[in-house]
Amino acid sequence: MQVSLDGCARVALRGRLDAQTVVVCWNLLEQKLRTSKINVLELDASSLQFCDGAGLALLRYLNMGKMTPSANVSVLGLELELEKLFLGFTSGDYEAFRSTAPVQRHSLPEEVGESVSHTAADLREQVAFLGEIMANLPPTMLDRKRMRWPEVRRIFELAGANAVPIVSLISVLGGIIIAFESAQPLAQFGAQIYVTNMIGLVMVRELGPLLAAILLAGRSGSAFAAEIGTMKVNEELNALETLGLDPIRFLVVQRITAGIFLTPLLTFYATFMGVAGGVLVTLGLGFPLTLIYHQLVSSVHLSDVALGMAKGVVFGAIVSAVGCLRGLQTQQGPSAVGISTTRAVVTSILLIVIADAMFSIIFFSLIK
């Protein structure tokens, strides 16, 4: 490459102009062209042996006057084929690209407004979905052919039976942790035996249902969203629709039914394992089993167990319904299913906690 600079500049290009040599040329030209005042620039490409896309891009860049803003730049001597390729992308095309500005950023109030309207729309959708479920659940459940009980069984196994190991582990450990943590402060008052009462109440009324529901949300709510979301992306939901099958009736009702039936069972199991963990600790502290049993029976009433089971039913309905809703709301694109599963878990846990708070308030005012 030779550069001779006078009033008008002329750059003679020789040899290969490819992705490697363009980098070298670029640095050289940057040094020489940017620093001098040039009115006319001629690029002589007649001795080029090879020129690829990167080389042509460099020529076009120079030709657009990007390095020499005030100069009139011409490219001479390009081979016929290269000339054709060179003219295939003009400065006009580049300007056209520049004018298609990327998505504009919104101002803060706009963002806030948009997010509020999104949340409102989402709430509206949730209410509409709830209505649709309410309208579809009883008639479908009574219609044996439509209900597809084998599907309910499959989900029952997948979301319920297969969750038993992890629920066992977490509940037992939860019980053990709470028992140990509370044993020490209670010992200061000589009230260690009340660890049993506390474990009983806490597990039956609160932690059993919560643990079961949160595990269900993480394991199965997300799975529902992913499954239905993938079906939506693959147009399987459209296929159902045009076959005259309502996705709510065909997919959602089964999952919610399974959720409503399996969560109380899972809750009962989680509660039992949690209490067992606590009992283990109190046994280790030296209390006899009969005493522990009496403490448990005297502190936990049937109403507490009923409350726990009722929570299980509600939480199960929430988790499975939210999982299905988020699946149905899946958009297009590769990240859509991932977004749906995340939203399913987050919304499920949020609604579970809200429902739990409402349970507490209602129960408190009932007893008063």
Partner 1 sequence: MSDAPQIAITVRNLKIGYGTKVILQNVSFQVRHGEVFVILGGSGCGKSTLLKNLIGLYAPIEGEVWIEDGNFLAAKDEERLRFLRKFGVMYQSGALFGSMTVLENVRLALDEFTALPEPVKELVALAKLKLVGLGAAAQKLPSELSGGMQKRAAIARAMALDPRILFLDEPSAGLDPVTAAGLDLLIRELAHHFGITFVIVTHELASIYKIADRVIMLDSRTRTIIAEGKPAELREHAADPWVRRFFNREADSAEAAQPK
Nearer to partner 1, 64 or 285 (CB): 64
Q: Which of 60, 205, 232, 249 binds partner 1 (CB under 8 A)?
A: 60
For β-strands 40-51 and 8-17, DSSP reports them as parallel
For β-strands 2-5 and 40-51, DSSP reports them as unpaired
Interacting residues of 300 by C-beta distance below 8 A, sequence separation 6+: 200, 201, 204
CB of 343 to partner 1, least distance (A): 18
According to DSSP, residue 45 is labeled E
Nearer to partner 1, 66 or 294 (CB): 66
Token output for 175: 């019980």
Q: Considering the rule CB under 8 A, would residue 242 count as an interface residue with partner 1?
A: no
According to DSSP, residue 186 is labeled H
Distance separating alpha carbons of residues 104 and 189, to the nearest angstrom: 65
Site pattern 35..54 for partner 1 (x: CB under 8 A):
---------------x-xxx
Token output for 207: 């932690």
Q: Which of 17, 38, 45, 56 binds partner 1 (CB under 8 A)?
A: 56
Q: Considering the rule CB under 8 A, would residue 28 count as an interface residue with partner 1?
A: no
Quickly list H helices, 189-335: 194-201, 208-216, 222-233, 236-242, 247, 253-285, 289-299, 302-328
Q: Considering the rule CB under 8 A, would residue 85 count as an interface residue with partner 1?
A: yes
Q: Which of residues 316-345 bind partner 1 (CB under 8 A)?
A: 332-335
Token output for 334: 């590769």
16-24, 177-185, 266-274, 295-303 -> range binding partner 1 (CB under 8 A): 16-24
Tell me the backbone φ, ψ of residue 15, rounded to 5 degrees. 80, -145
15-23, 126-134, 177-185, 205-213 -> range binding partner 1 (CB under 8 A): 15-23
Residues near partner 1 (CB under 8 A): 18-19, 22-23, 26, 50, 52-54, 56-58, 60-61, 66, 81, 84-85, 88-89, 93-94, 96-97, 100, 102, 332-335
